């Protein structure tokens, strides 16, 4: 019988789990030293190894002759757990067993010592699905865990867990797996299966799967059904992606302000039964790539594409203004949302492309973007050479005179931004990301929190150092790139609250008035 790849290639030892060293190294150490916790919480995005590591850990703690913190896989306990003859490892799928009774039973059972193994291990998968009653019952056991019991809770939605449960667990965050690691694993699987895959194709799969190994293996499975030698083309066809050259061609039409040409291309894709929502998504990806190229020193580190495509995309990016690129992403994304809500996809696609060909920015956003860009470029120049931005004496007052149509976001707008702000749960992840490139910067943000509101991430801290750091262009870019890496979305930065709220309500105006106070005119160029 054919076994799907992602089941067949489920790692059986920590050493084979890729891309999660922060989890696997620690767990192996704990097993080696025998310093085990009573409850573990595995969280993080889909298909990245939570269930896999739960199974490995349940064996490792019970194995008769563990090898360097990994289960041996051969002793009677390892084999017994694998074939289900040893009942001391219990897997509960909370998605189908969310009742109090199950957990109550588990509590009674947990009091007995294990029958064969050293520890009785309860793996509760999708633990966020438990009912309140069940959580309370579980909590009682977690409060006074019998010495021979280990709980492993796994979930993608950690924010749905009660804090009382979380605080009793040792928490491990599983990250999206880096594309290079996924690609290498796919190459390995292909070699085992007697077929071949081009590196570009493997990277493309990794990109489509967005860091999930299960999705990557599923896509590989389908691609292998098409061909024994998997190329980028195979993957594109399998995933129903447009040829990269079509995307580049459509973007060329946007550059040339040639709506007729673009509509022809869309028509062609439509006739070859290309889904318009998918095309829209891919265009978002293409513009996102251009945005990263324009904002990052080494976009290669986050972009998954062949050198040739990268070269062409760079060329296009250099001809577009960053603010246009950002507004295009915004426009395409709203268009995509509308497509999913049932409007005629083809007409929607055409309208959006015609609009983009006109070169206009979507109006409401553009003012804000222009203003942010202006402030950023002024800041950049200030950092580079303080003298360079001394007031250029001119007849005009050094205000918004050069951009007369432009209005700063009023304090009312800023208030609204804050009223709609929600705590940004991924902030710790963002700081972790920052720490990779600069310990100093990440230390500066210690104790800070952040909120998301519309297109803004609003940073909050009572230490001024944060905002001092954010005044540096390089740090802002770093922060935005980190936010992008974690959320997949681009945000502008702002400040959530001020020590003296009366001074001003508006992060940007605050910045502007600081510049003015330093004798720097806040104007376009
Ligand atoms: N880090 C990894 N290294 C190697 N293979 C992995 C990894 N993560 C996932 N896989 C592959 O994907 C399959 C699914 O992984 P797993 O069930 O552990 O994911 P999960 O994190 O529990 O996902 P979900 O949140 O959807 O439950 C595994 O059988 C394995 O083939
Ligand atoms: Mg799972
Ligand atoms: Zn063993």
Angle at which helix 345-357 crosses helix 259-271, to 10 degrees, equals: 150
3-class SS at 153?
A: strand
For residue 393, pLDDT beyond 80: no
Among 7, 61, 74, 67, residue whose Cα is nearest residue 34: 61
Q: How far is CA 449 from CA 298, 425, 429, in A?
A: 27, 9, 11
Q: How far is CA 509 from CA 227, 382, 490, in A?
A: 58, 17, 21
For residue 10, pLDDT beyond 50: yes
Q: How far is CA 85 from CA 6, 89, 90, 293, 480, in A?
A: 24, 10, 11, 55, 52
Measured in angstroms, how far is the CA atom of residue 66 from the centroid of ligand 3? 6
Model confidence pLDDT, tens digit, residues 94-104: 887 666 777 77
Q: Please identify, in words, the CATH class of the domain defined by 179-239.
A: mainly alpha
**Whose alpha carbon is nearest atom 19 of ligand 1?**
47
Give the architecture-level CATH label for domain 244-361.
Up-down Bundle (1.20)
Mean pLDDT of all residues in 92-119: 80
Question: Which comes out higher in pLDDT, residue 280 or 438?
Answer: 280
Question: Which comes out higher in pLDDT, residue 382 or 313?
Answer: 313
Cα separation, 13 vs 27, in Å, equals 11
Model confidence pLDDT, tens digit, residues 476-511: 888 888 898 888 888 888 888 766 543 444 555 555
Q: Residues enclosing ligand 1, CB less than 6 A?
A: 6-7, 9-11, 17-20, 46-52, 154, 156, 174, 177, 185, 213-214, 217
Every domain of the chain and the residues it spans: 5-174, 179-239, 244-361, 369-387+413-517
Model confidence pLDDT, tens digit, residues 221-279: 999 999 999 999 999 888 887 778 889 999 999 999 999 999 999 998 988 888 899 89
The yes or no reply on domain 5-174 and CATH 3.40.50.300 is yes
Tokens representing residue 430 in the block: 């963002």
Q: Which residues make Cβ contacts (< 8 Å) with residue 293, sequence separation at least 6?
A: 299, 303, 313, 314, 317
Identify the residue whose tokens are 């007369």.
Answer: 404
Measured in angstroms, how far is the CA atom of residue 123 from the centroid of ligand 3? 18
The pTM of the whole model exceeds 0.75: no
């Amino acid at each position: 019988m054919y076994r799907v790849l992602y089941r067949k290639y489920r790692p059986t030892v920590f050493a084979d789990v890729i891309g999660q060293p922060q989890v696997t190294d620690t767990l192996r150490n704990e097993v080696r030293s025998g310093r085990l916790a009573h409850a573990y919480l595995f969280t993080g995005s889909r298909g990245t190894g939570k269930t896999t590591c739960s199974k490995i850990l349940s064996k490792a703690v019970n194995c008769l002759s563990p090898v360097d913190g990994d289960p041996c896989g051969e002793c009677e306990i390892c084999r017994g757990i694998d074939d289900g003859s040893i009942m001391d490892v219990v897997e509960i799928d909370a998605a189908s067993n969310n009742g109090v009774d199950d957990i109550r039973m588990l509590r009674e059972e947990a009091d007995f010592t294990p029958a064969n193994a050293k520890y009785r291990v309860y793996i509760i998968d999708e633990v966020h699905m438990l009912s309140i009653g069940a959580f309370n019952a579980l909590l009682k056991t977690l409060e006074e865990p019998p010495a021979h019991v280990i709980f492993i809770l796994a979930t993608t939605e950690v924010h749905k867990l009660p804090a009382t449960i979380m605080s009793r667990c040792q928490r491990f965050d599983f990250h999206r797996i880096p594309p290079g690691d996924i690609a290498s694993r796919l190459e390995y699987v292909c070699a085992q299966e007697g077929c071949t895959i081009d590196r570009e194709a493997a990277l493309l799969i990794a990109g489509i799967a967005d860091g999930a190994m299960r999705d990557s293996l599923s896509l590989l499975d389908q691609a292998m059904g098409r061909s024994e030698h998997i190329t980028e083309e195979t993957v594109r066809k399998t995933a129903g992606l447009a040829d990269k050259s079509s995307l580049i061609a459509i973007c060329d039409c946007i550059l040339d302000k040639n709506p007729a040409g673009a509509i022809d291309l869309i028509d062609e894709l439509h006739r070859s039964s290309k889904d318009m929502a998918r095309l829209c998504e891919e265009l978002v990806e293409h513009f996102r790539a251009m945005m990263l190229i324009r904002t990052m020193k080494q976009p290669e580190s986050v972009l998954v594409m062949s050198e040739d495509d990268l070269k062409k995309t760079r060329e296009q990016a250099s001809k577009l203004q960053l603010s246009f690129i950002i507004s295009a992403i915004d426009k395409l994304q709203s268009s995509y949302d509308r497509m999913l809500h049932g409007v005629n996809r083809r007409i929607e696609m055409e309208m959006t492309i015609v609009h983009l060909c006109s070169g206009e920015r979507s109006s409401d956003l553009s003012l804000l973007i222009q203003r942010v860009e202006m402030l950023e470029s002024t800041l950049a120049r200030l950092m580079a050479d303080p003298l360079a931005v001394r007031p250029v004496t001119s007849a005009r007052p050094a205000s918004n005179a050069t951009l007369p149509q432009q209005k700063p976001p009023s304090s009312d707008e800023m208030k609204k931004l804050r009223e709609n702000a929600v705590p940004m749960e991924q902030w710790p992840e963002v700081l972790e990301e920052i720490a990779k490139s600069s310990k100093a910067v990440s230390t500066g943000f210690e104790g800070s929190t952040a909120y998301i509101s519309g297109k803004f991430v609003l940073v909050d801290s009572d230490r001024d150092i944060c905002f001092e750091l954010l005044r540096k262009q390089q740090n802002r870019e770093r922060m935005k790139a980190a936010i992008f890496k974690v959320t997949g979305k681009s945000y502008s930065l702002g400040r959530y609250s001020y020590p003296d709220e009366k001074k001003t309500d508006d992060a940007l105006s605050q910045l502007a008035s600081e510049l003015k106070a330093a004798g720097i005119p806040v104007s376009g160029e």
